Structure 1
Amino acid sequence: MNKKRSTGSVKATGNRNTRSRSLRTSIRRLPSWMRWGGAVVITAFYVWAFYYFFVSPFGFRWRALFGEPDYPQGYEIHGIDISHHQGKIDWSELRNAMIAKCPLRFVMIKATEGSGHIDENFQENFYQAREYGFIRGAYHFWSIKTPAREQANYFLSQVHLEEGDLPPVLDVENIPADISVEDFQREVLTWLHVVEDKYHVKPIIYTYYKFKESYLSDQRFDDYPYWIAHYYVDKVEYKGKWKFWQHTDVGRLPGIKGYVDLNIYNGSYYDLKKLTIGG
């Protein structure tokens, strides 16, 4: 048995070697201009593929990592969003931070996730943001594992917004695989309605623009302010109305070690103040 397998293997290897030699011989018989032309075409294809798949989609990220990023033009109201991933923040340094020669105006802070997790730095960040003069907001990260009403009630039990704070934010980026889009939308609306009943303001919906178009395009969501995530582009591609744009996740600011998400507000500082609770 071993001998037969060995013989078969030798024959297969011999056939492959024969085909390989035949191919090389055929290529050598081609005119030189055809060989060079083929090499140029193949090289050009690989260069194009590398640029299309690895460079173009992340051009803004590359600029941000290896040079000064190109911040969105025409916006003056800048902000950040933070969580425990930013570690301990030096708020005295952050207070004087400038983005594109404009002061930092607002800070969005991760508060809760699901129905039982609070960000370990939320209370500290939430307190310090107001102490250092920023307009602050708090967001809840949507979980696909917990009913919406439980998540909303947990958020309300942990987060106590005041006048001058931004409306509560729902960060929704995932849809369960085992429910319909209609049922998913009903769950999201449940969270929004429960929280709205508490604060009497429309919560802000954070999501990325393709998710919005795919799963939240129902007109029942049209009255809510949107915070759209779309990185490494010169302008947000979402065509609907939006209030905030998270344009990069590789921002650098004094007082924060490592990267931080940068955002802009689509309006004036007066408009931003009007958006706040009691504004």
Structure 2
Amino acid sequence: MKRIKFIIFLIIITVMLMALSACTDEHEGMVFVNTGHEKEWIPEAKGVPKSDFKKSEFYYEGNIAKYKGEGYITKLGIDVSEHQREIDWEKVKADGIEFALIRCGYRGYTKGNIMVDEFFEDNIKNARKAGLKIGIYFFSQATGAVEAAEEAQFVINLLKPYKQDISLPVAYDWEPMRLEGSRSAHINKENLTASALVFSEIIKDAGYTPMVYMFRPLGYKYYDLERVKDFDYWIGAIDEWPDFYYKHIIWQFSMTGTVDGIETEVDLNLMFEEIAPPESPESK
């Protein structure tokens, strides 16, 4: 009788181990992430540096996200376009804003024409005068690498008079436009990734630091991150903390911010500058 019980016990243990093994195998090579709408398992992008941010390192003072960890220095910034209309940059600076990502232009989502942002020149000149650090972004609706190359060359030509003023990255900002007549609504992963890659390489060759903007579902499901892993990421994640799984240098934490000197709502961002570890005595 004891022998039968022991055999039954072994069978139960074996079944349990097989079930556990099956569960483990099911998610092998995957990560459990917040995609912006829900948490789900997705394939891990190989070779892409992982974020080391922790939820406990972040908190809010009013509507402003703060970082209390020890690995990074942070700066508070905004991203702006003609939608913010005329900006009093001296007031923006006095309100604690340290950097600005300024839209230089965009491609229309129906006809595909490339346009200069109406307030680009005013913004870059006056932000510089107020003493803010400046980065740039271009709102793309490219359907592939050829159009992305065209956009990059447009940006380079537009930025020539201001190159010495741009100390932060130049970002590729492609977002899906789910509207009637949108020429880019059904772009596939291959074309989107190729567009970001080509734009960023051309920007880099022109002497700027490239960066790719994405919000969480775009990054996790639309981009092949393994192909754009060599560029900085700017992540839109309206949440308690920057929980994007992969390393990023700027976190867009609000799209409804209020800043003195700007009459409309404005996007708010935290930029992270990694603190180098102290040298050990042996390395001196």
**Would you say same fold, with TM above 0.5?**
yes
Q: 1:238 to 1:252 in 2, by over 3 A?
A: same
Q: What amino acid is the match of 2:106?
A: E
Tell me the alpha carbon deviations over residues 170-203 of structure 1, each in whole angstroms, 9 at most, x when there is no partner.
Answer: 112238355532233222211111221111x440
Tell me the alpha carbon deviations over residues 222-268 of structure 1, each in whole angstroms, 9 at most, x when there is no partner.
Answer: 1111110011x111221110000000011111111121111001226
Contact kept? 1:246, 1:262, Cα under 8 Å:
yes
Q: TM-score, normalised by structure 2?
A: 0.63
Gaps of 5+ in 2: 1-59, 108-112, 178-183, 277-284
Task: Tell me the residue number matched to 2:79.
Answer: 81
Q: What amino acid is the match of 2:98?
A: R
Task: Tell me the residue number matched to 1:162.
Answer: 164
Question: Which of the numbers 251, 259, 278 marks the counterpart of 1:245?
Answer: 251
Contact kept? 1:209, 1:230, Cα under 8 Å:
yes
Q: What amino acid is the match of 1:195?
A: I
Question: Which of the numbers 100, 105, 113 marks the counterpart of 1:112?
Answer: 105
Q: 1:90 to 1:216 in 2, by over 3 A?
A: same
The CA distance in 2 between the partners of 1:76 and 1:193, in whole Å, is: 27
Q: TM-score, normalised by structure 1?
A: 0.65
Larger radius of gyration: 1
Task: Tell me the residue number matched to 1:9.
Answer: none
What is the CA distance between 1:145 and its match in structure 2? 5.3
Higher helix content, 1 or 2 = 1
Q: How does 1:45-124 map to 2 (within 5 A)?
A: 68-69=62-63, 71-74=65-68, 76-98=74-96, 104-114=97-107, 116-124=114-122
Q: 1:179 to 1:96 in 2, by over 3 A?
A: closer
Task: Extract structure 1 runs of 4+ deviating beyond 3 A.
Answer: 175-180
Between the aligned residues of both structures, percent identity stands at 26
What is the CA distance between 1:157 and its match in structure 2? 1.7
Q: CA RMSD in A?
A: 2.4
Give the count of matched residue pairs: 198
Q: How does 1:1-279 map to 2 (within 5 A)?
A: 68-69=62-63, 71-74=65-68, 76-98=74-96, 104-114=97-107, 116-144=114-142, 147-160=147-160, 161-162=163-164, 165-174=167-176, 176-199=184-207, 201-231=208-238, 233-267=239-273
Tell me the alpha carbon deviations over residues 68-120 of structure 1, each in whole angstroms, 9 at most, x when there is no partner.
Answer: 3262442741011111111111122122113xxxxx21111010112520110
Larger mean CA deviation between 209-218 and 123-132 belongs to 209-218
Gaps of 5+ in 1: 1-63, 99-103, 272-279
The CA distance in 1 between the partners of 2:87 and 2:237, in whole Å, is: 25
The CA distance in 2 between the partners of 1:252 and 1:179, in whole Å, is: 34
Larger mean CA deviation between 150-159 and 171-180 belongs to 171-180
Task: Tell me the residue number matched to 1:12.
Answer: none
What is the CA distance between 1:208 and its match in structure 2? 0.5
Contact kept? 2:78, 2:268, Cα under 8 Å:
yes
Higher strand content, 1 or 2 = 2
